[in-house]
Amino acid sequence: MFENIITVFESSPWLFFSSIFFIGLCVGSFLNVVAYRLPVMMQRDWKIECHEFLELDKPTFDEHTTNLGLSLPASACPNCGHKIRFWENIPVLSYLILRAKCSDCQTSISLQYPLVELLTAAASLTVAYTYGVNLAMLAALVFTWVLIALTLIDLKTQLLPDTLTLPLLWLGIFCSFFILFTDLKSSVIGAMAGYLILWSVFHLFKLVTGKEGMGFGDFKLLAALGAWSGVALLPQIILVSSVVGAISGITMVLLKRTKKQQAIPFGPYLAVAGWMALLWGEQINQQYLSFLN
């Protein structure tokens, strides 16, 4: 059956790309849910663990937080609690039909929802166009979707959950067994080097300034990127993410969107640089070397 699907997609590119676009929209809708619910679930679990460790009474939560999961309960308006019906949850289209407002209380719906859906669909199309119909494309899609989820969560909460970064790391090493993007040796060394580089920067910065310059989640994310792209592309990932992050930070300070001492999440810059490296890393390196010569 899988071979038949591949044959159909290879013979009908329009069907392949339209299917990827539709799947990307649906996944983007789910990533919005993940970005909202996963941090709440993490904070709930941390509070329970802290109370258990301190031998305190079990903490109490409202019914919504207690039962919150990634799939249940069904999505609802955060303002009035209106249960979102299936026709109100169609990616992008429902946002336009509802005119960006809840059908019950008329509260505005954030523009984030359709933007994330369109971004995920566009990124998925780019992956499909780059790799074609093969196993590498499927793996790169998962890689892309996890990075989008991590970016959304880090921008909002400055957290990079282990429940996403660690499986991403191990999946990258697993893919190296099939040499989809790099070989096993390069993947393992890339994961080790990715973690140790930022770990060293963290402790050096703390030794010099007495402050913590980044979170441990950044170490694990770079380790995961190294596992996927291989050790050879780590310098490119670090350079691109650092330069873009510095430019973005300076721009935000100059525009007074943030304060000089305010922490800026580094995960989104790592995610963008890592995604670019996986798709076009070799071409970028070749262009850079050609420019130097």
If asked whether residues 69 and 197 sit together in one domain, one would say: no
Residue ranges in the chain assigned as alpha helix (H): 2-11, 13-53, 63-66, 93-97, 112-131, 135-157, 162-176, 184-209, 216-229, 234-254, 267-292
Q: What is the CA radius of gyration of the chain?
A: 21
If asked whether residues 122 and 207 sit together in one domain, one would say: no
Is 293 domain-assigned?
Answer: no
Closest by CA to 175, choosing from 151, 197, 142, is 142
Structural domain harbouring 149:
136-287
Is 126 domain-assigned?
Answer: yes
Domain boundary among 133, 151, 177: 133
Q: Which of 175-179, 226-230, 241-245 has the lowest mean pLDDT?
A: 241-245
Q: For residue 86, give the 3-state DSSP assignment.
A: helix
Task: Return the pLDDT at 1.
Answer: 63
If asked whether residues 265 and 122 sit together in one domain, one would say: no
If asked whether residues 143 and 245 sit together in one domain, one would say: yes
Q: How much is the mean pLDDT over the chain? A: 90
Residue 159 Cα distances to 109, 139, 156, 221, 268, angstroms:
24, 24, 8, 11, 11
If asked whether residues 161 and 278 sit together in one domain, one would say: yes
Question: What is the arithmetic mean of pLDDT over 162-190?
Answer: 97
pLDDT in tens, 83-112: 888 888 889 999 999 888 988 888 898 999
Is 292 domain-assigned?
Answer: no
If asked whether residues 121 and 173 sit together in one domain, one would say: no
Is the pLDDT assigned to residue 259 strictly greater than 80?
no
Task: Return the pLDDT at 2.
Answer: 66
If asked whether residues 82 and 200 sit together in one domain, one would say: no
Is 253 domain-assigned?
Answer: yes
pLDDT in tens, 45-68: 999 999 999 888 888 888 778 888
If asked whether residues 201 and 268 sit together in one domain, one would say: yes
Domain boundary among 112, 133, 154: 133
Q: Which of 59-68, 112-121, 185-194 has the lowest mean pLDDT?
A: 59-68
pLDDT in tens, 122-161: 999 999 999 999 999 999 999 999 999 999 999 999 999 9
- Give the max Cα distance, the chain: 67
Q: What domain count does the chain have?
A: 2
Is the pLDDT assigned to residue 117 strictly greater than 80?
yes
Task: Return the pLDDT at 159.
Answer: 93
If asked whether residues 105 and 169 sit together in one domain, one would say: no
- pTM equals 0.93
Is the pLDDT assigned to residue 81 strictly greater than 80?
no
Task: Return the pLDDT at 132.
Answer: 94
| Tokens 């159909």 sit on residue | 8
Whole-number Å distance between alpha carbons of 52 and 234? 40
Is 75 domain-assigned?
Answer: yes
If asked whether residues 265 and 176 sit together in one domain, one would say: yes
Closest by CA to 141, choosing from 160, 125, 154, is 125
Task: Return the pLDDT at 251.
Answer: 80
If asked whether residues 189 and 250 sit together in one domain, one would say: yes
If one compares 11 and 227, the residue with the highest pLDDT of the two is 227
Task: Return the pLDDT at 263.
Answer: 72
Is the pLDDT assigned to residue 70 strictly greater than 90?
no
pLDDT in tens, 13-45: 999 999 999 999 999 999 999 999 999 999 999
Domain boundary among 108, 133, 158: 133
Is 11 domain-assigned?
Answer: yes
If asked whether residues 80 and 191 sit together in one domain, one would say: no
pLDDT in tens, 200-230: 988 888 888 877 777 889 999 999 999 999 9
